Structure 1
Amino acid sequence: MFTAPDPGRLRLRNSVRAVIGVGAAVAVSELSGFPLPASITGGLAALLALFTVTDGTVRAQRITTALLPLAGFPVLAFATTLHDLTAARDMAFVATVFCGVYARRWGARGQALGIFAFMSFFVTQFLHAVPAQLPGLYAAMTLALLVAGAVRFVLWPIERGAPPVAPPAEAPRTGLDRPTTRQAFQAAAACAVALVVGQGFSEDRWYWAVGTAWWIFVNTTSRGETLVRGFRRVLGTVIGVAVGLLVAVPLDGAPVASAALVALCVFGIFYTAAVSYSWMMLAVTVMASLLYGLLGVLDAQLLALRLVETGVGAGCAMLAVFLVLPVTTHATNDAWILRALHCVHAAATETAARLEGDPEADPAPHAAELEALFGRARVALAPLVHPLNPFHGRKARARQALRLLDDCVNEVHALVSATAEPPASHEASLVAACWRVKAAVEALTVHETRAPSWPQHLTGQEAPHQPEPGTPLVHLHNLERTLSDLALPLGRTSGSRLAGS
């Protein structure tokens, strides 16, 4: 985790900025005279604003941050009003889950607003909030969002290396064929069962089971991804509870030490989120333990109950993805890999145009998009390469596919660098090599595209047997060979399919 790549130290900078943003929000709340529960709520609002708002441009991030109260404040009021009406409260919570997941159809903004709405309902259960506390909660959250926004957009703006990758296009789909609709039903079913079972273990802390089920569905699209995420959440919680017993319980709510460790946990959440869900959950669990210590209710039994409720929520999520409108791992893998391959095709097309003298042609954006798509494909393939996967043949093919996709990314980046200054004279062999790469991609996506129509002036151009090292031609040659090798693990030959679950 600590040796994971961090280009431009983006994760490190985001993590430090998050500590400053959340810490400043809590400090301002405390200096404004808000009670501790309101300050904690403000800190959570700041953390969510910094963590969940992932739009591709700074302008879009500002708009989404400004919209967070519109999504969260009505839910907060509704949840506090239903505090003593158990049945109505439970139905409203499940409805919030469904709407929050369904909102993901509108991309990164929909996801951020859905998470903020869910967590607004969740925090009322965490604090046992009642309507009389609403003015203080609203004021603390508003102040925290303003402080977090000032830190993010004024004090320390950080440009993203590349915009987040949107899910596979859903435009032609309607109803239950739309992945976000199916997942909304899955999450609602999982949270409903987790709510009932969780209440059987605790009338006061049942919401932990619901929160676990909810967060397992964030950023997953297939049952394989959900199973792996559930396993990692339980693993991180187990380790976090152990750390909480060793650290948070002995502290017994000591304010200065607890605040310092909470800041360290905030850093850990942001620094590990992109590389290890288990490490992130460890940080979340320790932070929750410290907050309960500050509220004066922490003991070993409470941490044991958190572990039980986490297991309940994870189990319900895993059952839901198998029993409620399941989306197979193979379907998800195929969608992301095909998008990555189409990106290679676009990069080759732009490279050919650049070599032919088009001054507007630029393959660099496609190279950046390919890297992001490969990262998402790696997440989709994670269930197949997980140590607990018993299907060794599929695991081996998935590892081969990941290695070859990684090679594709490297060769495309090298090709973009090598053709940054195209040769003064037109080289038909280079353009022909670009067309061979496009043909190799289309051979892998034959069910979606037609075979390429070769330009007449390139007919008869043969691939060189030994292209000179370090030249654009060698990168094109390597890319063509890598794409051809992908046929077997992707099931484009008589071999087995990559994934069948």
Structure 2
Amino acid sequence: MFVVPDPGRLRLRTGLRAVAGVGLAVLITALSGLPLPAVIVAGLAALLALFTVADPTVRRQAVTTALLPAVGLPVLALATWLHGAPLLRDAVFIAVVFCGVYARRWGPRGNALGIFGFMMFFATQFLHALPAQLPHLAAAVGTGLAGSSTVRLGMWCIERRTPPPTGPAPLTARGLARPTTRQAFQAAFACALALAVGRVVSDDRWYWAVGTAWWIFVNTASRGETLVRGFRRVVGTLAGIAVGLLVAVPLDGAPVPTAALVAACVFGIFYTAAPSYSWMMFFVTVMAGLLYGLLGVLHPGLLGLRLEQTLVGALAAGLAVALVLPVATHGTTDAWIRRALLAVRHCAAESARRLAGEAAADPAPHVAELEVLLGRVRVSLAPLLHPLSPLRARKDRARQVLALLDVCAEQARGLAAVAADPEASHDARLTTACRRVEAALHALLPTAGSVAVAADRVPEQHPGAEPALAHLRDLEGALSSLAAPLRGKTHGIFAEA
């Protein structure tokens, strides 16, 4: 895990910045004289702001962060006021779940606001907060966001130097087929089931089951993705509980070592979030145990109960994606692969135009889009590539498709680099090669329109065209090889053969 490539050391810097932001938020809140529960809420608010606010520009990040209290404080107040009315509280909690997931249709800002609202309701259950504590908790949200914003938007503004890549637009659909609408119903069902069963397991700590079900649905788009994420959450939680028994329980809330370990967990959460959900959950679980130690309620039985509630939440999420508006993995994968191939097509066409002398043609944006889309394809294929997947034939096809798509991306990058070279020249062989690439793409995407390639008045041969020809030949070969694994024995790429 800790040897996974970290280009530009972005994950390292993001993790260190998170420690600084959360640490400053906690310090400000503690120095303000607020009680320990408020300090924990401040740290949580800071962590959520740093973790969930993912707008592409610093200005939009600032706006989203400023909007967090507008969602979080009303939810926080409602949760505390309903503390003495369990049935109504539970109903409102499920409504918050539905609205929080539905808000994802408005992109990164909606996602951040939805998560923040859910976690404010969750935090009141974690702390068993009462209405009398509301002023302190509300003040803590403010100090927590102020501390994290001071670091993120001022002292350590990573995005000004290394802008994050823009994520791919979500797959489009309408009505109940829209991903956010479908997931809102699935998450509401899963959380309601987790709440009901979790209450049977423990009338005091049922919220862990709800939290598990909620977070499993974040950044998933199909049944397979959700099931794999649930499995990874259980694995990470189990490992975190084991370490909690060895570390958090003996510490018993000792302030200085607990604070140091919580800071290490915050770093671990941010450093491992992108490459490994299991590792991230390991650090979340260890941190939760340490916080329970600070609150004076930690004991081995509590950590065991945490595992039970995690299993309940994971099973509830699995049932939800199987029974409520299910979306098969292959359908989602087909769509993402199709978009990746379209990006290859546009990259080749723009490169050809650039080589033909069109100064305005630029394949670079399509190369960047292709990289992001390939990341989404990998996520979608994760269920088929999982070691426990019993579908060996489909697993082999998935590996083959990923390997060939990586070759396509490599050749597209090389072709774009050649096209950007002012010494590169176009000739008739390049036009012919581009047409062969177009034909290979049309065989994979017969319903997509063709992309015109300039072909008038070009020299027969030019030495500067050789590198581009090599990239186009390899790209054509990879695309031709994709035909067999993509088609299989059905029209769906990864439908059952």
Aligned to 1:316: 316
The answer to whether residue 482 in structure 2 is matched with residue 480 in structure 1 is no
Q: Cα 1:495–1:320, aligned 2, differ >3 Å: closer, same or farther?
A: closer
1:41 and 1:179 mapped to 2: Cα distance? Answer: 31
Q: Cα 1:494–1:310, aligned 2, differ >3 Å: closer, same or farther?
A: closer
Aligned to 1:359: 359
1:413 and 1:477 mapped to 2: Cα distance? Answer: 14
Shift of 1:3: 1.8
Q: Cα 1:233–1:167, aligned 2, differ >3 Å: closer, same or farther?
A: farther
Q: Cα 1:470–1:93, aligned 2, differ >3 Å: closer, same or farther?
A: farther
CA contact (8 A) 1:54 1:164 kept: no
1:135 and 1:71 mapped to 2: Cα distance? Answer: 16
Q: Cα 1:270–1:424, aligned 2, differ >3 Å: closer, same or farther?
A: closer
Aligned to 1:274: 274
Aligned to 1:399: 399
1:94 and 1:374 mapped to 2: Cα distance? Answer: 34
1:428 and 1:18 mapped to 2: Cα distance? Answer: 54
Shift of 1:431: 3.5
Secondary structure of the structure 2 residue equivalent to 1:489: helix
Aligned to 1:212: 212
Deviating more after overlay: 151-160 vs 84-93? 151-160
Q: Cα 1:425–1:300, aligned 2, differ >3 Å: closer, same or farther?
A: closer
Secondary structure of the structure 2 residue equivalent to 1:488: helix
Aligned residue identity for 1:29: T
The answer to whether residue 7 in structure 2 is matched with residue 11 in structure 1 is no
Shift of 1:452: 5.3
The answer to whether residue 387 in structure 2 is matched with residue 387 in structure 1 is yes
Alignment of 1:32-47 (within 5 A): 32-47=32-47
2:143 and 2:265 mapped to 1: Cα distance? Answer: 22
Aligned residue identity for 1:362: D
1:500 and 1:191 mapped to 2: Cα distance? Answer: 30
1:359 and 1:163 mapped to 2: Cα distance? Answer: 25
CA contact (8 A) 2:418 2:424 kept: no
Percent identity, please: 62
Aligned to 1:107: 107
CA contact (8 A) 1:122 1:211 kept: yes
Shift of 1:6: 1.1
Shift of 1:495: 9.0
2:169 and 2:189 mapped to 1: Cα distance? Answer: 22
Shift of 1:312: 0.2
Shift of 1:174: 2.4
How many pairs were matched up?
A: 495
Alignment of 1:36-115 (within 5 A): 36-115=36-115
Aligned residue identity for 1:166: P
Deviations 1:389-430 (A, max 9, x none): 101000000011111111112111222222221446542322
The answer to whether residue 277 in structure 2 is matched with residue 248 in structure 1 is no
Shift of 1:493: 7.3
Secondary structure of the structure 1 residue equivalent to 2:3: coil
Shift of 1:76: 0.7
Aligned to 1:142: 142
The answer to whether residue 284 in structure 2 is matched with residue 288 in structure 1 is no
CA contact (8 A) 2:425 2:464 kept: no
Aligned to 2:300: 300
Aligned to 1:131: 131
The answer to whether residue 119 in structure 2 is matched with residue 119 in structure 1 is yes
Alignment of 1:411-422 (within 5 A): 411-422=411-422
CA contact (8 A) 1:107 1:166 kept: no
CA contact (8 A) 1:81 1:130 kept: yes
1:64 and 1:139 mapped to 2: Cα distance? Answer: 19
Deviations 1:139-174 (A, max 9, x none): 11111111111111111111245434234342xx32
Runs (4+) off by over 6 Å: 467-470, 492-496
Aligned to 2:485: 489
Give the alignment's TM-score, normalised by structure 2. 0.95
Aligned to 1:175: 175
Shift of 1:488: 1.5
Deviating more after overlay: 235-244 vs 429-438? 429-438
Deviating more after overlay: 340-349 vs 82-91? 340-349
Aligned residue identity for 1:326: P
Q: List runs of 5+ in structure 1 lacking aligned partners.
A: none
Shift of 1:496: 8.0
Deviations 1:113-145 (A, max 9, x none): 100010010001011111211111111111111
CA contact (8 A) 1:46 1:145 kept: yes
Deviations 1:232-273 (A, max 9, x none): 000000010000000100011010000000000001100111
Deviating more after overlay: 360-369 vs 325-334? 360-369
Secondary structure of the structure 1 residue equivalent to 2:484: coil
1:168 and 1:432 mapped to 2: Cα distance? Answer: 35
Q: Cα 1:456–1:155, aligned 2, differ >3 Å: closer, same or farther?
A: closer
Q: Cα 1:28–1:500, aligned 2, differ >3 Å: closer, same or farther?
A: farther
Aligned to 1:471: 467
Deviations 1:25-81 (A, max 9, x none): 101111111111101000000000000111122222111111111111111111111
1:458 and 1:69 mapped to 2: Cα distance? Answer: 62
2:47 and 2:16 mapped to 1: Cα distance? Answer: 12
CA contact (8 A) 2:330 2:492 kept: no
CA contact (8 A) 1:168 1:335 kept: no
Secondary structure of the structure 2 residue equivalent to 1:221: coil
2:39 and 2:432 mapped to 1: Cα distance? Answer: 64
The answer to whether residue 165 in structure 2 is matched with residue 163 in structure 1 is yes
Deviations 1:74-124 (A, max 9, x none): 111111111110110000000000000011111111111100010010001
Q: Cα 1:114–1:496, aligned 2, differ >3 Å: closer, same or farther?
A: closer
1:387 and 1:27 mapped to 2: Cα distance? Answer: 44
Aligned residue identity for 1:396: D
Q: Cα 1:263–1:454, aligned 2, differ >3 Å: closer, same or farther?
A: closer
Aligned to 1:435: 435
Aligned to 1:265: 265
CA contact (8 A) 2:216 2:226 kept: yes
2:265 and 2:344 mapped to 1: Cα distance? Answer: 39
Aligned to 1:332: 332
Give the alignment's TM-score, normalised by structure 1. 0.94
Aligned residue identity for 1:474: A
CA contact (8 A) 1:432 1:458 kept: no
Aligned residue identity for 1:114: G
Secondary structure of the structure 2 residue equivalent to 1:490: helix
1:312 and 1:473 mapped to 2: Cα distance? Answer: 56
CA contact (8 A) 2:427 2:465 kept: no
Q: Cα 1:162–1:140, aligned 2, differ >3 Å: closer, same or farther?
A: closer
Deviating more after overlay: 71-80 vs 306-315? 71-80
